[in-house]
Structure 1
Amino acid sequence: MIAFFTDWGNDSYYVGVCKAVMKSINKDVEIIDVLHETKKFDPKVNAYILHRFSKDFPEGTIFLSVIDAGVGSNRKPIIMKAKKRNFYFIAPDNGLLTLVAEEYGIDRLIEISNENYYFRKRYSTTFHGRDIFSPAAAYLSKGVPIEKLGNEIDIINLFRYKTPEIKNESIEGEVIFFDTFGNVQTNIPSELGETLFKKDDEVIVHFENKKFKAYYERVFSDVLPGELLIHPESSGFLEIAVNQGNAKELLNLDSEGVEIVLKKENY
């Protein structure tokens, strides 16, 4: 199975062409379109998204992830074979694999450099998704050994991020992305929330010298429509949401990467 993830959108032919290339190499391969409408050019935001959805895929999945503002530059096209779950991750070496590398461990790293396994030897400088990444995924799905696709490398690019922690009876973390409903996704594991908060606690959300009151709950309907809540979301992290509303707009958040502090109001 190939899990296909890009920032290309669905209003151009790029996704369809890459799937055609993969099918031309392995007509029996199953391709799952995970997401093609996401924040463009941003490997850090999309690293968090890749990390989240990877957990729900079966052992042996090949993750083809093309968030590649540096296409055609000296950044490497790579394959990471994970130590856990027999996962393969194919991506540009721009930090996109930071979190899955930490989650699953690195068994082997390959730079995709064997042109015999490219779609075209005279490959496009701006469409490596078609000519390099998609063929690599398809050949792996056919059982071609990873070492045939290129040369082994020792290291990949990883980005820094704020590690969530409990400090002074508060939880510190980071806003990592916004979903289509405007829910604010954080990198704070749900277990940290369960350590400090219990259901119906009033919690103050601090960021950028702003404060908002929310309730620590389990489901959206535990608060009234329009009220702010914090709850464990389906991937095991804390989410800030508004029942039948848009938390990103209510909190007036413009971008990801904002550091946040969650503290019980009565502390």
Structure 2
Amino acid sequence: MIAFFTDWGNDSYYVGVCKGVMKSINRKAEIIDVLHDTKKFDPKVNAHILYRFSRDFPEGTIFLCVIDAGVGSNRKPIIMKTKERNFYFIAPDNGLLTLVAENYGVEKVVEISNEKYYFRKNYSTTFHGRDIFSPAAAYLSKGIPMEEFGEELDTLNLFRYKKAEIINDSIEGEMVFFDTFGNIQTNIPVELGDTIFKKDDTVEIHFEGKVVKAYYERIFNDVLPGELLIHPESSGYLEIAVNQGNAKEYIGVDSEGVEFILRKENS
């Protein structure tokens, strides 16, 4: 199975062409389009999204991940195999694999440099998704060993981020991405939140010199329409949301990566 993830959108032919390339190499390949409308050019935001959806795929899945603002530069096209779940991630080495590498462990990384497994010898400098990454996924799905694609690498580019942690009676974390409803996805695991807060607590959200209050709940309907809440998101992290509204607009946050503190009111 090949799980396909890009920032190309669905209003161009890029996704379809890459699927055609993969099918020309392996007609039996099962290709699942996970997401193509995501924040463009941003490996950090998409690293969090990649980790969350990857957990719902079966062992041995090949993830074809093309978030590649540096296409044609000296960043390396790579294949990474994980220690847990036997996942394969095909991606540019630009930090996109940070979260999956940390959470699953890295068994091996190779550079995709063997042109035998490229789509064409005179490959495009701007469309490695078609000419390098997609063929690698297809050949890998046919059982070609990782070692055939190029030399093993000793290092992997990883980015730094604010890891969720409890400090005194507060939780510090990061707003990692926004969904289509304007819900704010955080990197705070639900179990961490539940160690400090209980249902119906009023929680202060401290960020960028501002403080807003929300209710600590389980479902949207635990609060009235238009009210702010913090609740478990389906992938196991805390989400800041507005019942039938847009939390991003409600609290006035402009970009991902904002660090924040959760603190019980009057604590």
TM interval, shorter chain, is over 0.9
> Letter of the aligned partner of 2:106 in structure 1?
I
- In the aligned structure 2, how far is the partner of 1:138 from the partner of 1:251? 44
| Per-residue deviation, 1:2 | 0.4
Give the match for residue 129 of structure 1: 129
> Letter of the aligned partner of 1:216 in structure 2?
Y
- In the aligned structure 1, how far is the partner of 2:81 from the partner of 2:208? 39
The within-5 A match list for 1:111-130 is 111-130=111-130
| Per-residue deviation, 1:17 | 0.2
Counterpart of 2:214 in 1: which secondary structure? strand
Counterpart of 1:155 in 2: which secondary structure? coil
> Letter of the aligned partner of 2:241 in structure 1?
A
Give the match for residue 99 of structure 2: 99
- In the aligned structure 2, how far is the partner of 1:251 from the partner of 1:160? 25
Q: What is the RMSD computed on CA atoms of the aligned residues?
A: 0.5
Deviations 1:38-95 (A, max 9, x none): 0000000000000100000000100000000000000000000111111000000000
- In the aligned structure 1, how far is the partner of 2:174 from the partner of 2:105? 23
| Per-residue deviation, 1:266 | 2.5
- In the aligned structure 1, how far is the partner of 2:32 from the partner of 2:252? 34
Give the match for residue 231 of structure 2: 231
Give the match for residue 26 of structure 2: 26
- In the aligned structure 1, how far is the partner of 2:157 from the partner of 2:34? 24
Give the match for residue 12 of structure 1: 12
Gapped regions of structure 1 (runs ≥ 5): none
| Per-residue deviation, 1:149 | 1.1
- In the aligned structure 1, how far is the partner of 2:252 from the partner of 2:141? 44
- In the aligned structure 2, how far is the partner of 1:29 from the partner of 1:189? 35
> Letter of the aligned partner of 2:137 in structure 1?
A
Give the match for residue 179 of structure 1: 179
Counterpart of 2:185 in 1: which secondary structure? strand
Give the match for residue 56 of structure 1: 56
- In the aligned structure 1, how far is the partner of 2:246 from the partner of 2:62? 34
Regions of 4+ moved over 4 Å: none
Counterpart of 1:33 in 2: which secondary structure? strand
Counterpart of 2:151 in 1: which secondary structure? strand
Deviations 1:137-163 (A, max 9, x none): 000101111111111111110000011
> Letter of the aligned partner of 2:81 in structure 1?
K
- In the aligned structure 1, how far is the partner of 2:8 from the partner of 2:27? 23
Counterpart of 1:34 in 2: which secondary structure? strand
Deviations 1:160-194 (A, max 9, x none): 00111111200000000000000000011111100
Residue 77, structure 1, aligned to residue 82, structure 2: no
- In the aligned structure 2, how far is the partner of 1:218 from the partner of 1:93? 38
- In the aligned structure 2, how far is the partner of 1:155 from the partner of 1:209? 38
What is the TM-score with the length of structure 1 in the denominator? 0.99
